Structure 1
Amino acid sequence: MLLLIPGPVQTRPEVRAAMAVDIAPWDRGFMPEYAGIREKVRDLAGGIAGQHACLPLQGAGHFITEAAIRTFVPAGAKLLLVMNGTYADRMARLAREAGRVVVPLAVPDHRSVTPAEVAEVLAADPAIGHVGIVYSETGSGIVNDVPGVGAAVRTAGRRMIVDAVSAFGALPFDLKAQPEVDAVVFTSNKCIEGLPGIGFAVCPIDRVTACAGNAGSWSFDLADIYATALRAGWGSFRFTPPVQALHAFGKALEFFQAEGGQPARHARYRENARLLHEGVRALGLKPYLDWDHQGPIIVTVHQPADPRFTLMEFVEALKTRGVLISNFYNTPVPTMRIGCIGDIHAEDIRFALRAIAETLDGMGIRQRDAA
């Protein structure tokens, strides 16, 4: 089955095979491996040894995002959130339920926020201490201008949390160039092409220590994860981890680096997105985004206007032809979400386009413009 979703992604067989081992997470034989993964992740984020730390947490992307919000934004404090997609909506809910005050900045879901829009809100409300932004919104497929927004946040003397869950490893990011960032967060099962189970935050150490006591949660406290590393070593855990997923992630990191790292992975995904964007148009379908705003992670496509089309029927029929896409959408109008990331290459996208064409024909879908 060809898995074309924005995560969990299609993985290499060697990565999946790495899961098929029994490991004790506190075993002295595994601790150096885990410590080495943390160092590699820190370096990939542009972190510096002794100045930045990789702080992993078991669970989904929502878990590591909530932990970053709880750790760095004090209870009752204001957090400006760029709202141009479903995952920003989820970030807002995490913040509100943690007792933080969300200041929403509404932006259309078909473009990035501009630095000027963020700067204007910060200038109008000096009580806002942090800005939260989703780097790659997989609801629509846009990429927000994180470096540009970061410069505006830095100029205003505020701090920033970057949800890079579906961006890290494909889109460029450098903590050295963005000292205003308290945390960049991502997960194991997206652009590094590992398996689900663990999230990562890379943070400035001085900010982590300064914010100890903010979280109001033991499980979701990045400062406590850092304190545990200092006390018990960088190969240590607080609670039982998804250790097989970590082992597989280490294997995925090896392939990531062998491919050429972030620039090479971005280039492959970008070509996948181009082929998919052009290919669905050739089939009479309409992409949700213009190419100028299209990111490399996922191509969202309007559902056909033909009354015979239903998303669930299409997804199930497409699956019989060896391609699996998301069976839900996150946009205000009906769309289809087709991922470009994972161990996916140009020939896979061409295969998927043929399967999509056959499925539409098999369903009798003739009117393919937007509903």
Structure 2
Amino acid sequence: MLLLIPGPVQTRPETRAAMAQDIAPWDNDFRPTYAAIREQVRAIAGGQEGVHATLPLQGCGHFIMEAAIRTFVPAGGKLLIAQNGSYADRALRLATEAGRQVVALPGPDTRPVTAEEISAALAADPAISHVAIVHHETGSGIVNDPEVIGPAVRAAGRRLILDSVSAFGALPVDLAAHPEIDAVLFTSGKCLEGLPGIGFAVARIDSVTAAAGNAGSWSFDLSDVYQHALRAGWGSFRFTPAVQALAAFQVALGIYAAEGGQPARLARYRENMRVLRDGVQALGLTPYLDARHQGPVILTVHQPADPAFALQPFVDALKARGVLISNFHNTKVPTFRIGCIGAITPDDMRGAVAAIGGALDALGVRQREAA
């Protein structure tokens, strides 16, 4: 089965094989593995030794996002969220239920937020201490570029939380060049092509230290994660982790380095996207985004207007042809989305395009323009 969702992603056999072992996460033989992972991902983020630290947390991207909000934004503090997609909507809920004041900056999910919009919102409310953006909006596929937004946040003297869960490892991040970023957030099961189970924050040590006592939650306190590492060592987890996922992640990081790191990973995903986008357009389908706003992670496509089309039967027809995609959409209009990330190649995407055409034919979908 070819898994074409934006995470968990298709993985290499050797990555999956690393899961097939029993491991004690606090055993001295495993500590160097975990400590090395922290160093490797800090380097991918452009972090600096003594300035940035890798702070892992068990769970999914929502867990690490809530932890970052609770840790860096004081209780009752104000947070600006660029609300141009479904995952920004989720960040808004996480922040609100954590007792933070959210200032929403609404926008369409068809284009990135601009530096001018961020600057204007910050100028209008000096009480806002932090900005949160979703680097890649997995609902639609747009990219909110920290190279555009970061300077605006820095010029206003505020702080930035970068949710890069579905982008990290493919889209570049350079923390050394962005002192305004308190933390970049990501998970093990997306563009780094590991298995799901671990969230990561690569964070500024001074920001983490200053945030002690903010979280109001032991589980979601990144400051406590940092203090634990100082006490027990960088190879020690606070609570029982998904340790097999960590072992698999070490293998995935080795594959990532051998491929050529971030530039090579991005180049492969971009070619996957090009093949897929050209292919679906040749089938008469309509991409949701303009090409200039299309990120490399997922292609979102308008559902066809033909009454013979329905999403679940289409997903089932694709699955019967060896391709599995998401059976839901996060856009305001009916769409379907196809992932371009994971251990997949442009040839895999050509096969996926053929499967899409076959599924549409089998369902009798002739009118393929947007509904």
Bin for the TM-score computed over the shorter chain:
over 0.9
TM-score norm. by structure 1 comes to 1.00
Cα separation, 1, equivalents of 2:333 and 2:74: 36
Cα separation, 1, equivalents of 2:320 and 2:246: 32
Deviation of the 1:68 alpha carbon: 0.3
1:257 alignment partner AA: A
Corresponding residue of 1:140: 140
Cα separation, 2, equivalents of 1:54 and 1:312: 40
RMSD in angstroms over aligned alpha carbons? 0.5
- DSSP-derived class of the 1:190 partner: coil
Corresponding residue of 2:160: 160
- DSSP-derived class of the 1:144 partner: coil
1:274 alignment partner AA: R
Contact 1:280–1:353 (Cα < 8 Å) also in 2: yes
Percent of paired sites with the same residue: 71
Corresponding residue of 1:12: 12
- Cα shift readout 1:114-151 (whole Å, capped 9, x = no counterpart): 10110001011100000000000010000012111110
Q: How do residues 127-206 of structure 1 correspond to structure 2 at under 5 angstroms?
A: 127-206=127-206
Corresponding residue of 1:357: 357
Corresponding residue of 1:89: 89
Cα separation, 1, equivalents of 2:144 and 2:203: 20
Contact 1:132–1:160 (Cα < 8 Å) also in 2: yes
Corresponding residue of 2:23: 23
- Cα shift readout 1:196-223 (whole Å, capped 9, x = no counterpart): 0000000010110010000000000000
- DSSP-derived class of the 1:276 partner: helix
Cα separation, 2, equivalents of 1:73 and 1:52: 18
Cα separation, 1, equivalents of 2:170 and 2:319: 27
Cα separation, 2, equivalents of 1:32 and 1:318: 43
- DSSP-derived class of the 1:203 partner: strand
Unaligned runs of 5+ in 1: none
Unaligned runs of 5+ in 2: none
Q: How do residues 116-127 of structure 1 correspond to structure 2 at under 5 angstroms?
A: 116-127=116-127
1:282 alignment partner AA: A
Deviation of the 1:50 alpha carbon: 1.2
Cα separation, 2, equivalents of 1:60 and 1:261: 23
Corresponding residue of 2:68: 68
TM-score norm. by structure 2 comes to 1.00
- DSSP-derived class of the 1:201 partner: strand
Cα separation, 2, equivalents of 1:303 and 1:63: 31
2:352 alignment partner AA: A
Runs (4 or more) in structure 1 with deviation over 6 Å come to: none
Contact 1:42–1:48 (Cα < 8 Å) also in 2: yes
Cα separation, 2, equivalents of 1:341 and 1:214: 35
Cα separation, 2, equivalents of 1:147 and 1:71: 24
Q: How do residues 1-371 of structure 1 correspond to structure 2 at under 5 angstroms?
A: 1-371=1-371
- Cα shift readout 1:328-357 (whole Å, capped 9, x = no counterpart): 000000000100000010100000000110
2:256 alignment partner AA: F
Matched positions, count: 371
Contact 1:136–1:144 (Cα < 8 Å) also in 2: yes
- Cα shift readout 1:169-193 (whole Å, capped 9, x = no counterpart): 0001000011000110000000000
Cα separation, 2, equivalents of 1:344 and 1:5: 11
1:159 alignment partner AA: R
Deviation of the 1:261 alpha carbon: 0.5
Cα separation, 2, equivalents of 1:147 and 1:101: 26
Deviation of the 1:51 alpha carbon: 1.1
Cα separation, 1, equivalents of 2:337 and 2:359: 16
2:106 alignment partner AA: A
Contact 1:114–1:145 (Cα < 8 Å) also in 2: no
Contact 1:285–1:304 (Cα < 8 Å) also in 2: yes
Cα separation, 2, equivalents of 1:149 and 1:140: 19
- Cα shift readout 1:80-110 (whole Å, capped 9, x = no counterpart): 0000100000000000000001100011111
- DSSP-derived class of the 1:258 partner: helix
